Structure 1
Amino acid sequence: MDTHNIPSRQSSSPGSKLGLVLSSGLVSGFVVHRVAKKYLSPWLPSPVIVGVSIALLFAGLLVLLIDRQQARTGKHGKGRLMSLLPYSIVYWLALDLSLFGFQKILHLQMIVPLGLLDTPFSSLSGENLVWAFYRWSYPFTLFIAGLQISSAYLLLFARTRLLALLIALPMLVHIIAMDYCYAMPTWVMLHAVVLLTGVLSLLSLDYHRIKAFLLSTVQGLQPLPYAPAIQIGIKLSVLLLPVLLLSVYAFPNKHPQFTGSYRASNLRIDGQARVARTPKDSVLTGVYLDLDDEFAFDFNDYRYRYIGTYHYQPETDSLIVHWRYPNRNIAPLRGRLTREGTGLRLDGQLANQHLQLHLERRPEQR
């Protein structure tokens, strides 16, 4: 690992030193714990793994105390230990990112039980949804693995270290956002947050140069040859045009008061009550009123459905559904859709059958 171009900004203030110490301890402790628990647990007892990880968490504080003691006594070698902390972050970051990449290549990540993949989409947890999405395309998995492995190895060389950090930064931000929004295990998200603190800690050492680069103008891009007022108008149009275009757009949620998934109950066909008593009973149990006036009947199994388009007249509460699946030869549903308690009541005619049922909105699956 090249060790000759990490700036020495960490020695400028006690605050920056403490930040570097904490970041180094967190990154090394978390990475060692994850790696040892996953790969070395057959040989190392859990208390040993936890003990070593905790020791690494506090090792940086010990380095800080030694550094301050040397500063007070004027001993030779002042700051030498502190200068090693950024390289500790670099090493453990590189190792962890590299391992994550190879885990993806070898199918050790993005694992979903095969039995879950054939279940309804809405029944999957956020974690399983994420893994099912990513595992669908192995080339995409390889692409992510390539980013992680390349950023890991670029970290090890002085001339490519900054590039590696700039690759890792958005990657980790994306992972943290995904972990949070899709309810991943807390420890998984916390691990990503710790890696991000390591990246930010290293980037902070080169803060002024990065700031100057990011806020500099693009060379070769000439200023617009227009008056300042026109330039301001062009910039404002980027904000105002979307508002204008969206204000005239026909949104697909045409009947938001109905849109949702409903559980069917109190079903009566030609006056006779019908109830699904076993999973094999082909009885109407669910109704979906969706965007773009999509309408679906669910007959106790997601594989057995009628799907079509509905037209609703609010003046008369009249409803007509033209089916297209499983075929277009099914007679339209004609009836009335009205409020009933906290739900809806559907009363209509399907072919030669008279349907009556209560619809109770189901909470949206997340």
Structure 2
Amino acid sequence: MTLLGSFFYKLFNSFGDVSFARLFTWIIAGMFIFSLVYSIYWHQKSKKEEFNSGVIHAFLRGVMRYFLAYQVSAYGFAKILKTQFGHVYMRDNTPIGELSGFDLTWNYFGHSYSFAVILGLLQIGGGVMLLFRRTTLLGTCILLPVMLNIVLINVFYDIATGAFINSIIITTGLLYLLLLRWPDIKPVLFKEVVIPPLRLSFAKPVLKLLVIGLAFYSIYRYVMAVPSSTFTGKWKIKEFKRNGKTVGENDWMNGAQNWCYIYIEDDGRISFCANPYVFEANRAWFGRYNYNANQKTFNVHFDGGTNNDTTKVKISNYNGKQMQWDTKVYDDTLKLKLVKE
């Protein structure tokens, strides 16, 4: 019983570390054990026809609806009252590349309180609908897409195990409530729509294939127009000479032109940053580039310049991990040695 209580405590404590969670998890643990014992008892009695199974089933379905309503509503209120997606100040100064999937998720959803409130209201509203028989199906249809999305986030962003298991339990319960109404739902989803027939039956399969094919081609064409570059990555400037003079390690504090890192992106974007510790967008130089393989040069167009302002960068000693740049930016002759990180 102790192990089971600990398991459920981790499960339900995921929406807030409150003392009530411990009491409630023990209640749920007791209900879980009771449901196992009672299901065996019910099965034995139903064999002897001593039970009104319809009434018992209706009662237990009601218990499930109330349980799910509590669970999803608690998560909804947690969002509104900021025990979920609350601001954590130490994350503000943590490089984004070092954030865990959990921290990234909390930062993303916590960025907009309005969005969190909308999610919370959807969960609370759906939970309220589960409390009434007439609106159970509508509440299930509202909550199921939300919960399926939460399950996927929990899986692929490494959210706490307790929260993941809890989302599985809630989603499974909602699926069960939905399948109970499957005879009513099936005709709505798969009923033949009665409209005047179009005499294009021979062309319909071609048109359907064409729609999906065009969707693929539009994205494929974009990908091919902006192919992946072998230079893509974060490059550290190991040696920087301007007009024959070496730029020192701490000179980045004296000017934004004393770069420490160059960031080359797949989409043809390039940026130059002086700060060796964090990327400072307000001091960085931005631009676009294209690579001339025949001349082994980068043609860089800095943002804010005219179309005729092209900085040509001669690349040498490139081996995938390091390279040398020789270029002229405005009136300065630059020689850079870069190492990929």
Residue 237 of structure 2: aligned partner: 264
Separation in 2, partners of 1:297, 1:37: 42
Residue 162 of structure 2: aligned partner: 187
Question: Contact 1:117–1:132 at 8 Å: present in 2 too?
Answer: no
Separation in 2, partners of 1:314, 1:165: 58
Question: Contact 2:8–2:28 at 8 Å: present in 1 too?
Answer: yes
| TM-score normalised by L of structure 2 | 0.81
- Residue 202 of structure 2, aligned match among 200, 223, 229: 229
- Residue 292 of structure 2, aligned match among 301, 313, 338: 313
**Counterpart secondary structure, 2:191:** coil
CA drift of 1:159 comes to: 0.9
Separation in 2, partners of 1:242, 1:308: 30
**Aligned CA-pair RMSD:** 3.4
2:313 paired with 1:335: yes
CA drift of 1:248 comes to: 4.2
Separation in 2, partners of 1:291, 1:309: 11
| AA at the equivalent of 1:354 | L
Separation in 1, partners of 2:335, 2:287: 17
2:335 paired with 1:355: yes
The verdict on how the C-alpha distance between 1:95 and 1:35 changes in structure 2, with shifts beyond 3 A counting, is farther
| AA at the equivalent of 1:359 | V
Residue 344 of structure 1: aligned partner: 322
CA drift of 1:269 comes to: 5.0
What pairs with 1:75-154 in structure 2 (closer than 5 Å)?
A: 75-77=50-52, 80-117=55-92, 119-154=94-129
| AA at the equivalent of 1:336 | K
CA drift of 1:148 comes to: 0.6
2:301 paired with 1:322: yes
Separation in 2, partners of 1:279, 1:244: 45
The verdict on how the C-alpha distance between 1:255 and 1:51 changes in structure 2, with shifts beyond 3 A counting, is closer
Number of residue pairs the alignment of both structures matches? 326
Separation in 1, partners of 2:242, 2:144: 60
**Counterpart secondary structure, 2:202:** helix
Question: Contact 1:169–1:199 at 8 Å: present in 2 too?
Answer: yes
What does the per-residue CA deviation read over 1:326-348, in whole Å, with 9 as the maximum and x for residues that have no partner? x88xx965432346344131322
**Counterpart secondary structure, 1:212:** helix
Separation in 2, partners of 1:239, 1:196: 31
Separation in 2, partners of 1:247, 1:100: 40
Question: Contact 1:333–1:348 at 8 Å: present in 2 too?
Answer: no
CA drift of 1:298 comes to: 1.7
**Counterpart secondary structure, 1:127:** helix
Q: Gapped runs of 5+ residues in structure 2?
A: none
CA drift of 1:102 comes to: 1.5
Question: Contact 2:326–2:334 at 8 Å: present in 1 too?
Answer: yes
Separation in 1, partners of 2:64, 2:160: 24
| AA at the equivalent of 1:147 | L
Mean CA deviation greater in 77-86 or 201-210: 77-86
Question: Contact 1:30–1:194 at 8 Å: present in 2 too?
Answer: no
The verdict on how the C-alpha distance between 1:205 and 1:346 changes in structure 2, with shifts beyond 3 A counting, is same
Q: Gapped runs of 5+ residues in structure 1?
A: 1-25
Separation in 2, partners of 1:318, 1:269: 19
| AA at the equivalent of 1:263 | K
CA drift of 1:161 comes to: 0.5
Residue 295 of structure 1: aligned partner: 270
Separation in 2, partners of 1:206, 1:32: 32
| AA at the equivalent of 1:171 | V
CA drift of 1:239 comes to: 1.7
2:172 paired with 1:204: no
What does the per-residue CA deviation read over 1:37-63, in whole Å, with 9 as the maximum and x for residues that have no partner? 94652x78x6x7665443333322111
Query: Which aligned runs of 4 or more in structure 1 are off by greater than 6 angstroms?
Result: none
The verdict on how the C-alpha distance between 1:201 and 1:323 changes in structure 2, with shifts beyond 3 A counting, is same
Separation in 2, partners of 1:264, 1:184: 37
Question: Contact 1:33–1:53 at 8 Å: present in 2 too?
Answer: no
